[in-house]
Chain A
């Protein structure tokens, strides 16, 4: 019987400070047993439990793309007991990863469709995974137009900045980066994500899906914009968060109505979410 509570042992391979305030770091892990990497086959949008013996576990979205081999990355905000400890760990340290967990963005449905990605702040991790995956030469032709609206407070708070600017130079993706207020040497948008979305988002159609991931306040103001633009609720895809422990649908704390965010989610369409209590 496979024990779903045992994490795969991993080594920290690289640590990058992800934002100027140092509250986020990106950790790259390599599996200590090669075979575990195969078992960890994941899709963009899934998450994993990062497991530190003695401290506990935290559910974190996978930031690397399934097309990137040999490692997995996670960008982690320092907030509680486990994440604070993780931020003190060093390259070479051993810890555990349990997953992949949860569902993924509905890639089967999204094939051949135009994709509008809207992200804010720290919540760009699984979106990064998705973009990276879609831009992979073997996948790019599978999708239609890709538009990305990504906002942060300041340029220094944008995650994966180098990559963002690289993508900005490409022809096959439209990047709409924005920061809250004017900043030196900032040549992109200025303004909150919902406002920029209203300006740059592609027209709604049956063939266009929006993936929205960001802080509650961003979501709150972005959804009306999308509605105004004509996006149907089943064409708006969101990733939810709730307190989790087991990550496999058993411990009982992450439910919104009948749905378990860890197992039935974390990805839901807005029309799914509309049927459930807003307990997230």
Chain B
């Protein structure tokens, strides 16, 4: 990770110095152990604050939306797929963006870290794939791969798909096929159990919208939750309103989601919102062979069709 950080600083500094980009979007060291803060470097000096480690959970493509200047952006595999999606959806142009590609070995799951520490984390260090967390109960050391977010453990595209200036050599992929075990387990339930499962899953949702705001796909000028004529969904904590929100959010991401996990990492209540978006991506893959953001040419699954798409359920 150290050389990732050093390389990112060097590349970003050079890009800013040369004037090739006006800003670089990256991360700076967080104020708490276990989290970093998205950061906009405007000068070569700023670039020296950039960092990279396994606590960069948010998707930086989210900060690229509608930017007008030339932007350098530090991007892991999933971020780069969202940059591709942004380009397809005209949020930015390809020419505007210089991707500083990070071959990604995954992000840690904030909850696994906390469980490991057994209490408040007072310090965290990461070196050569080993993570050490410190709490009042002492120090625990674990291999990073045992702490990965589930989307990272199941990742199929760890290396950036757009990679203008790689900050390191590609890393080997760790999976060859989707792991849909969790989703399949739900699919196997009875309708009543499915309903109850999600009722419980969403019961702590406060509608803070961290999931949608952390998502690079959610950039509509007026979100459906804010529409008033007609108003599709109430604004309180009614469970059906909560369910409506999550259902429509997942649907809006269908065929566009890269399973970056930012929504789940952002959720303060640790709700597994990826189960809904994941279901949509599973369907897109099974039905249309579609994975979002692998290039900047092909329209996403719901923005295209073939004459013979499956339709066994249509009378």
Contacts and interface: CB of A to CB of B under 8 A. Distances in A.
In the complex, A touching B, CB below 8 Å? Answer: yes
Interface of A: 80-81
Interface in B207-258: 228-229
Sorted nearest first, the 4 A-B pairs with minimum C-beta distance are A81-B228, A81-B229, A80-B228, A80-B229
Nearest to B230: A81
Contacts of B229: 80-81
Interface of B: 228-229
Nearest to B231: A81
A81 B229 CA distance: 7
Contacts of B228: 80-81
A81 B228 CA distance: 7
A272 to B, nearest CB: 32
4 contacts: A80-B228, A80-B229, A81-B228, A81-B229
Contacts of A80: 228-229
B122 to A, nearest CB: 35
A168 to B, nearest CB: 41
A81 B231 CA distance: 10
Nearest to A80: B228
A115 to B, nearest CB: 39
A80 B228 CA distance: 9
Nearest to B229: A81
B139 to A, nearest CB: 44
A113 to B, nearest CB: 43
A78 B194 CA distance: 45
A80 B230 CA distance: 11
Contacts of A81: 228-229
A268 B229 CA distance: 33
A199 B229 CA distance: 45
A29 to B, nearest CB: 24
B177 to A, nearest CB: 49
A233 to B, nearest CB: 36
A43 B303 CA distance: 58
B233 to A, nearest CB: 15
B307 to A, nearest CB: 42
A219 to B, nearest CB: 27
A270 to B, nearest CB: 33
Nearest to A56: B228
Nearest to B228: A81
B231 to A, nearest CB: 8
Nearest to A82: B228
A59 to B, nearest CB: 16
A83 to B, nearest CB: 12
Nearest to A84: B229
A127 B229 CA distance: 32
A12 B162 CA distance: 63
A90 B39 CA distance: 56
B53 to A, nearest CB: 38
A237 to B, nearest CB: 33
B154 to A, nearest CB: 42
B4 to A, nearest CB: 41
A85 to B, nearest CB: 10
B271 to A, nearest CB: 27
A80 B227 CA distance: 11
